[in-house]
Chains A and B, each alone.
Chain A
Amino acid sequence: MDKDIKDIFVKRRWNKIFFFSVLAAFTIGSIIVTNFDLTRGFASFFKAVMWSVTNFYPDAEAMKRLPDILIKLRETILLAVASTTLAAVAAFAFALLGSNTTKVNNFFSLVSRGVASVSRNIPDAVWAMILLFSFGQSALTGYFALFFVTFGFLCRTFTETIDEVSGSSVEALQATGADYFHIVSHAVIPSSLPQMLSWILYMIETNIRSATLIGMLTGTGIGFSFGIFYKTMNYSAASLVVIVVVVAILIIESMSNYVRRVIL
């Protein structure tokens, strides 16, 4: 028996060693392939901190731009909200078809899962660059880039939610002979709405950050403002943009945390 216990520990130790050496190998490989310089990394980290303390704060000149920045911020937030809400509606329809509890048949289930999977696994920046060909530098490029990724992501989470939450109530209504639409409106929606709303709020937070990035590619919103200030080396205005974004996201986060606390 002693030998067995010993064997387990030996095995565990070998597992650990194997795991960490694989990690180390990948790390070294990544350092080589990306030309990453660890010492330069550390050095520039402290350099960047020193630089931000001395240069990266808004001054009086930058404050004059605050109204313009706030208008751009509104555009970005509205873009994130509008794309998330419509994507959520579409995702709900697809999740109903894709979920094991509520699917109509296997074919539609497979198709809807496939569409959702493709649309979420293409990153939003890639969607933006694809859509630039047809939508040009308009707000719609960013809108649809966010829409597709959000749609795909929410499809997955909504499907999981429906399967987890509403299984038993759907079965109960099916037993009474309720038809499909009654089941959806009286069992699926009431039981999974709080959870789904929580995911929608999460996606809005994420999308505001993504919209900033996409704005740099498509020339819209707060990302575009930051890009211009950054390229013209107007760092005090750029820092004001960062502060405004952070404050906006923290406010929205605390609002959605409040909603989550109440409804979940």
Chain B
Amino acid sequence: MSMEQVLKGTGSKYKYYNTSKKINIRPLNKVSLIMNATLISLAVLTVYGFMTFDYKNISIVEALAQTFYNLRIMFFEPHLKYFTLGEAFYQLAVTLGLAFLTTIIGAVISVFLGLFSAENLSSRKVSHIIKNFVAVIRAVPTVLWVLIFAVAAGLGSVAAVIGMTFHSVGYLVKAYSESFEEIDHGVIEALKASGANWWQIVFQAVIPSSITYMLSWTFMRFEINFAVAVAMGAVAGAGGLGFELFMASGHYFDLREVGMITYFILITAFVLEAISTKLKLRLKESV
């Protein structure tokens, strides 16, 4: 007896639909369509990339083996030849100093821009203008900012700090304004009703309630800026460990010294990451 007959026999008013077709449990909706399209295009671009790269006749296997050999020399036989341990610590301080100055200046500028770009604290129009402006600033790679400023200021710490500040501002304004926008609207309204002016609202409600977020984001930026400062030392003559690394790698070809400098950078980065993780954990607990 077919299903149709059964339904007729019971006098069911429901029409029988042929369900022998496989039921589609994952319909091709927009979400899965876009997701698959993204994954496929990334895969295609990857294959296309590998086909077009300029390999300069380097055998990957050989070079990888060489890399592991080099890494072993670097990390197991590090030494300092062209400068002393004391100087190494001084250069580390220079790199940290560049990162710190950039973060502080960037944070101060970003607090103000972030306030004006938070939609609940400023007008929609102003917020849009600042957000788009900041997106453009963020799109320029940091090294290009530094080199552009180096034309006017000369290569050195001034150009490096100003150039690095641009990208920090682009990053922090986005982070700050998003955390300002998450503030409970009632708090702002209550203060407004009590006659508080804009600055009072900002300093009594907005900043105190988002200060933990801001600290966590700012420290994360400091962590990033440390890596950026190393790179700027190498590429844009900003000094510090990056410059020593560039000399050891590009001029003296001294793997062991590269290893020592890498240790300095790696250990500092570990410490910064540990602090940053701790800040984030504290943030999660407080929420």
Contact = CB atoms under 8 A, between A and B. Distances in A.
Interface in A51-83: 51-52, 56, 74-75, 78-79, 81-82
B162 A41 contact: yes
Interface in B220-269: 227-228, 230-231, 234-235, 239-240, 242, 245-246, 249-250, 253, 255, 258, 262, 265-266, 269
B144 A132 contact: no
A135 B250 contact: no
Contacts of A122: 262, 265-266, 269
A115 interface: no
B65 to A, nearest CB: 8
A66 B119 CA distance: 39
Interface stretch (B12-20, B96-104, B123-131): B96-104
Interface SS of chain A: helix, strand, loop or mixed?
helix
B5 interface: no
A210 B106 CA distance: 20
Interface of A: 23, 26-27, 29-31, 33-37, 40-41, 44-45, 47-48, 51-52, 56, 74-75, 78-79, 81-82, 84-86, 117-118, 121-126, 129-140, 143-144, 193-194, 197, 200-201, 209-210, 212-213, 216-217, 220, 223, 226, 230, 235, 241-242, 245-246, 249-250, 253, 259, 262-263
Interface residues of B, number: 78
Contacts of A136: 56, 58
A197 B38 contact: yes
A87 to B, nearest CB: 11
B83 interface: no
A85 B42 contact: yes
B148 A143 contact: no
Q: 10 shortest A-B CB distances, which residue pairs? A: A78-B49, A30-B97, A44-B153, A125-B231, A82-B49, A48-B152, A123-B227, A121-B269, A134-B66, A129-B249
Given A81-B45, A130-B74, A139 B54 contact: yes
Nearest to A33: B97
Interface SS of chain B: helix, strand, loop or mixed?
helix
Given A139-B55, A250-B135, 6 more contacts: A75-B53, A78-B49, A129-B250, A133-B253, A137-B56, A194-B35
A193 B42 CA distance: 14
Contact of B101 (A36, A139, A210): A36
B94 A262 contact: no
B248 to A, nearest CB: 8
